[in-house]
Amino acid sequence: MCSFVVEMKNKKILLVGGAVLASEVLWYIYKRVHNVWSNYINTRKVLEVQIPKSKHDISEVMFFTNESILCRTHFTTEMTCPKNNCPVRYLRHIESYMNNAKQSLDVCMYMFTCHSLSNAIVNAHKRGVLVRIIMDRQMGSNDAAQTALFYNNGIAIRLICQDGLMHHKFMIVDNDLVITGSTNWTMSAFFGNFDHIVVTNQHSLVKPFVVEFDRLWKTFSKSQEN
Is 214 part of the annotated catalytic residue set?
A: no
Amino acid at 200: T
Which of the pair, 149 or 160, is modelled with greater confidence? 149
Report d(CA 53, CA 64) in Å as an integer: 34
pTM greater than the 0.85 cutoff: no
From 174, 176, 196, 214, active-site residue = 174
Report d(CA 142, CA 163) in Å as an integer: 18
From 34, 45, 115, 167, active-site residue = 167
pLDDT in tens, 26-76: 555 655 655 544 444 443 433 333 333 447 899 999 999 988 888 888 887
Is 169 part of the annotated catalytic residue set?
A: yes
- Starting at the edge strand found earlier in the chain, the sheet holding 177-181 runs 59-64, 195-200, 177-181, 169-173, 104-109, 130-136, 156-160
Is 56 part of the annotated catalytic residue set?
A: no
Which of the following CATH numbers is that of domain 59-223: 3.40.50.300, 3.40.50.10470, 3.30.870.10, 3.40.50.10070? Answer: 3.30.870.10
Q: Is 59 in a helix, a strand, or coil? A: strand
Q: Looking at residues 75-94, what average pLDDT do you find?
A: 86
Exposed/middle/buried for 134, CB within 10 Å: 0-12, 13-18, 19+? buried
pLDDT at residue 17 greater than cutoff 70: no
Selection from 185, 184, 180 nearest residue 209 by Cα: 180
From 106, 168, 169, 195, active-site residue = 169
Domain ranges of the chain: 59-223
Report d(CA 173, CA 183) in Å as an integer: 17
Q: What is the pLDDT of residue 54?
A: 40
Q: What is the pLDDT of residue 9?
A: 54
